[in-house]
Amino acid sequence: MTAEEKERAEWRRKHATIRIANFDDVKNEPDPPVPGTMEELMGLTWELTMMVCELGGQYDAKQPLQRHVTRLIRPER
């Protein structure tokens, strides 16, 4: 980042418009239900989760779990 870009970013940060909203300003109506079965909704949620992981660049969401990560431990009798 050049000095000019840093200066522009600092100016935008200092001159940003901020609005403080109270809960009274927001409508207290619940969101309408999303159509679809539970399986479809969970599939959509998983797709969004994978997209967020991939955008971060730190994780590979499609990589399967390694064997040593998952382990079943039975309770002793």
Q: pLDDT (tens digit, 9 = 90+) per residue, 21-68?
A: 666 666 666 677 888 888 888 888 888 888 887 777 776 666 665 666
pLDDT at res. 76 = 81
pLDDT at res. 64 = 66
Stretch 12-28: mean pLDDT, rounded? 71
How is residue 28 annotated by DSSP?
Answer: -
Using a cut of 0.75, tell me whether the model's pTM lies above it.
no
Q: If you search the block for the tokens 């109506």, which residue do you land on?
A: 29
What is the CB-side half-sphere exposure of residue 14 using CA atoms within 13 A?
6
Give me the residue spans of the domains in the chain. 36-77
pLDDT at res. 33 = 81
